[in-house]
């Protein structure tokens, strides 16, 4: 049985400018002990997905629907009291900015011992020694002294370690880490990631790691959910996403990864910007930026479908699986050629459709190619990860 099964999660925010579809039909499963990475550009709905499950979105003017079944209970149906006891004890969350969770006017020791005692009657001496051990376990030197510090007396990296120690105090079944290293310098980032890697080995907890960095996903995760404009556009195991990525948006993310051996010259960003969630484009929300877009993409929203029968690797893209490899290696023109081959028996209609696809896919009418250098991306074979 999965530890967490999210089905058709939707979160709508009513704003003065209209309805923001921050999460728009996201589904995934998380098995015990697995690490799921949620990746996507800023504003794609990663944080709101997790906050919605935990009842942490603003109550007013927010509509959350779907289900999020955690250990057999749908979190979306629980009352505030029940949710509060799930949070902190069974599910813990670490945020990008530790100061959103740490109280600046209380010592680290006070906050840690309070978190322990909130979830069970524990003598204060035992709470203190558990708190010290927790600080030691996340590599904080001299934990007895640090217990007396106030959060603002610590460096950003130390504060994030305190946050992680606090999250782990009650041995949660699920740890959600939302961009835990984004605000840190590179060296401290590496240390905190090392800590999470270590944690993954040491505990049986499942982890959801939110990041905009696929490199972090490759390093730490078992499963991946790629989000774009509030939707899951591709999901599967890490080896699927890195070895056989199916969605043009994922190709763009992969092509943006810095390659040590290729130098900065090879770093490509995805052209254009994500759409406004107040006014999503019709059809596939990625079509204005997609190098392989064709007519159907502008009309019809693609559903997430298995890449092969029975596979847990899903992609939401109208390209047929046979067309995707060609599109990924050679851009839209190759996709069109592959589509022509695949549909050869119905020569007339299929060939016309494919030609239309080649023209629209490489045209400039509102669609920006993924490759930063303007080439239909990822064009060079060495760019295909």
Ligand X SMILES: Nc1ncnc2c1ncn2[C@@H]1O[C@H](COP(=O)(O)OP(=O)(O)O)[C@@H](O)[C@H]1O
Interface residues toward ligand SF4, by CB under 6 A: 247-248, 284, 286-287, 290, 292-293, 297, 302, 317-319
CA atoms within 13 A on the CB side of 372: 14
Residue nearest to Mg ion (CB): 47
Among 11, 44, 47, 362, binds Mg ion (CB under 5 A): 47
160 vs 367 by CB, closer to Mg ion: 160
Strand partners of residue 206: 174
**The entry of ligand SF4, ligand X, Mg ion, none that residue 286 binds, CB within 5 to 8 Å by partner kind:** ligand SF4
Residue 22 CB, nearest approach to ligand SF4 (Å): 20
Residue 97 CB, nearest approach to ligand X (Å): 13
Chain residues in the site for ligand X (CB under 6 A) = 13, 15, 20, 22, 40, 42-48, 58, 277
Which three-class secondary structure state does DSSP give residue 112? helix
Q: Give the dihedral sign, CA 128/130/133/134.
A: negative
Q: Residue 22: how many CB atoms within 10 A of its CB?
A: 24
Interatomic CA distance for residues 382 and 307, integer angstroms:
24
82 vs 305 by CB, closer to ligand SF4: 305
* Residue 65 near residue 8 (C-beta atoms within 8 A): yes
47 vs 340 by CB, closer to Mg ion: 47
Q: Which residues contact 265 (CB under 8 A, 6 or more apart)?
A: none
Query: What phi and psi, each to the nearest 5 degrees, are found at residue 208?
Result: -110, 120
Strand partners of residue 177: 94, 209
Residue 45 CB, nearest approach to Mg ion (Å): 8
98 vs 248 by CB, closer to ligand SF4: 248
101 vs 340 by CB, closer to ligand X: 101
Largest CA distance in the chain: 81
**The entry of Mg ion, ligand X, ligand SF4, none that residue 43 binds, CB within 5 to 8 Å by partner kind:** ligand X
Interatomic CA distance for residues 20 and 309, integer angstroms:
34
Residue 280 CB, nearest approach to ligand X (Å): 11
* Residue 22 near residue 231 (C-beta atoms within 8 A): no
Among 43-51, 319-327, 332-340, 347-355, which window interacts with Mg ion (CB under 5 A)?
43-51
40 vs 331 by CB, closer to ligand X: 40
Q: Which residues bind Mg ion (CB under 5 A)?
A: 47
């Amino acid at each position: 049985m999965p530890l967490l099964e999210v089905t058709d999660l939707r979160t709508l925010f009513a704003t003065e400018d209209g309805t923001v579809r921050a999460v728009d039909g996201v589904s995934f499963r998380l098995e015990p002990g697995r690490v799921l990475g949620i990746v996507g550009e800023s504003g794609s709905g990663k944080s709101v997905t997790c906050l919605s499950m935990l009842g942490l979105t603003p109550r007013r003017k927010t509509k959350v629907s779907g289900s999020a079944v955690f250990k057999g209970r749908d979190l979306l149906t629980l009352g505030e009291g029940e949710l509060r006891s799930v949070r902190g004890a069974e599910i813990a969350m670490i945020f990008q900015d530790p100061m959103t969770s740490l109280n600046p006017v209380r010592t680290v020791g006070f906050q840690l011992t309070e978190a322990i005692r909130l979830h069970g009657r524990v003598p204060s001496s035992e709470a203190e020694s558990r708190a010290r051990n927790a600080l030691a376990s996340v590599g904080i030197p001299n934990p007895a002294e640090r217990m007396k510090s106030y959060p603002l007396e610590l460096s950003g990296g130390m504060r994030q370690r305190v946050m992680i120690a606090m999250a782990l105090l009650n041995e949660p079944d699920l740890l959600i880490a939302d961009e835990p290293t984004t605000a840190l310098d590179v060296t401290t980032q590496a240390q905190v990631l090392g800590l999470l890697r270590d944690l993954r080995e040491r505990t049986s907890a499942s982890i959801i790691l939110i990041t905009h960095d696929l490199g972090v996903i490759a390093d730490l995760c078992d499963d991946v959910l790629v989000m774009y404009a509030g939707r899951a556009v591709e999901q599967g195991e890490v080896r699927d996403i890195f070895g056989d990525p199916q969605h043009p948006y994922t190709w763009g993310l992969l092509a943006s990864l810095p390659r040590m051996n290729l130098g900065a010259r090879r770093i490509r960003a995805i052209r254009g910007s994500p759409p406004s969630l107040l006014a999503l484009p019709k059809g596939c929300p990625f079509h204005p930026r997609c190098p392989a877009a064709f007519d159907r993409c502008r009309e019809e929203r693609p559903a997430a479908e298995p890449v092969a029968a029975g596979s847990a690797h899903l992609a939401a893209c109208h390209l047929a699986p046979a067309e995707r490899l060609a599109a990924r290696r050679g851009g839209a023109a190759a996709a069109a050629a592959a589509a022509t081959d695949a549909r050869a028996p119905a020569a007339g209609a299929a060939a016309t459709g494919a030609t239309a696809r080649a023209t629209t896919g490489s045209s400039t009418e509102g669609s920006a190619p993924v490759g930063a250098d303007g080439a239909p991306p990822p064009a060079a074979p060495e760019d295909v990860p």
